[in-house]
Amino acid sequence: MILHEPVLPGETIEQLGPAGRALMVDCTVGTGGHTEALFQAGATRVLGFDRDAEVLSLARERLSPWLDRLELVHGDYRAFGQALDERGIDRIDGALADLGHSTVQLETDGRGFSFRLDAPLDMRMDRSQGQTLAEMLDEVTPEALADVIYEYGEERHSRRIARRIIWARDAGELTTTTQLATAVRRSIRYRGRTRIDPATRTFQALRIWVNRELDGLDVFLRSLASRLAAGARMVIISFHSLEDRIVKHTLRELEQGGGVDLRVLTRRPVRPGPDEVSRNPRARSARLRAAERLA
């Protein structure tokens, strides 16, 4: 069984202080790494959400020692408020959202998240609904695609890449992740060795686009803060600058009088140390921010 190693687990527990907390919410439970750490640190009860049903089944197996104190919900974290209302829950005693994607999604055949595995162009976190990447690319114009790659991937070669992708699509040469990555690489001229694969930013942008990862993130953070009990904390872990910028600005606005009496605990994002990055290279871009509800 592939298990995703949680990022910044010690720092997360230090910020949340879950020991004895009546109800903690893991908005992005994944395969259960952070939830496992919450229980091991003394959390009483955890409500976990994830939009990926396949990783939730792995989480249930991993968290089997605590199933009597755990409820797992298949659903988008942005709908957590509705789930709380359905259960008659007004306030929670702590919350976590890890906005990254899991090792399972990256390393499972057929998901289409990684250019290192040849797979159909899917990229959906929830394969039970929504359009696949292939379907979205079939409908997009070169101009709209360039905007997606530039905005979500911060890729300065976005127009050149978009034109090449559309050319490959129209030529019938765009059905797999390998073909997509090849189209991107062929559109960028680079010299010598590069620190990251030239396709990295484009794949990030397309993943964000397919899963609407930034849509409503600020609204979610405000809603999450409003459900915290007095003294409860929230921890948000992001993995690229677009997410982190939204988290930073939204928490700051709330602290400065955004309708919730909130105190930001991390003036600078907490980053993983060299030992963690060496053990888990995917942690290198993680940024943790935390805040506390005061009243």
pLDDT recorded at residue 5 = 84
H and E: helices and strands count for the chain = 13, 7
- What's the chain's average pLDDT? 93
| Per-residue tokens: 250 | 């939204």
* Alpha-carbon dihedral 289, 211, 194, 247, rounded to 10 degrees: -20
The dihedral built from the CA positions of residue 202, 205, 211 and 213, taken in this order, carries a sign that is positive
* φ/ψ bin of 216: left (φ > 0), alpha (ψ from -120 to 50), beta (otherwise): left
What distance in Å separates the CA atoms of residue 267 and residue 275, rounded to the nearest whole number?
A: 23
Q: What is the pLDDT of residues 74-131, one digit of tens each?
A: 999 999 999 999 999 999 999 999 998 766 666 666 788 888 889 999 999 888 889 9
Q: What is the pLDDT of residues 238-280, one digit of tens each?
A: 999 999 999 999 999 999 987 899 999 999 999 999 999 999 8
pLDDT recorded at residue 226 = 96
Residue 182 has pLDDT above 60, yes or no: yes
What distance in Å separates the CA atoms of residue 142 and residue 118, rounded to the nearest whole number?
A: 24
pLDDT recorded at residue 99 = 94
The answer to whether 14 touches 42, Cβ cutoff 8 Å, is no
pLDDT recorded at residue 81 = 94
Of 46-60, 185-199, 229-243, which gets the smallest average pLDDT? Answer: 185-199
pLDDT recorded at residue 116 = 86
The one-letter amino acid at 222: R
pLDDT recorded at residue 101 = 78
pLDDT recorded at residue 64 = 97
pLDDT recorded at residue 1 = 46
Higher pLDDT, 280 or 11: 11
Burial readout 109-138 (b: 16 or more C-beta within 10 A, e: otherwise): eebbbbbebebebbbbbeeeeeebbbebbe
The answer to whether 69 touches 44, Cβ cutoff 8 Å, is yes
**DSSP strands (E only) in the chain:** 24-26, 46-50, 70-74, 95-98, 233-238, 262-264, 287-293
pLDDT class of 193 with cuts at 50, 70, 90 = low
Phi/psi at 56 (nearest 5 deg)? -65, -35
State what percent of residues in the chain have pLDDT above 70.
Answer: 94
The answer to whether 206 touches 177, Cβ cutoff 8 Å, is no
Q: How many angstroms separate the Cα of 120 from the Cα of each of 124, 199, 248?
A: 11, 16, 35
The secondary structure of residue 250, as a DSSP letter, is H
Give every strand in the sheet of 262-264, ordered side by side: 70-74, 46-50, 24-26, 95-98, 233-238, 287-293, 262-264
The answer to whether 156 touches 100, Cβ cutoff 8 Å, is no
Spell out the domains of the chain, with CATH numbers in brackets. Answer: 9-99+214-293 (3.40.50.150), 114-211 (1.10.150.170)
Write the CB contacts of 210 (distance below 8 Å, at least 6 apart in sequence): 123, 124, 130, 131, 132, 133, 136
Question: In whole angstroms, how large is the CA radius of gyration of the chain?
Answer: 20
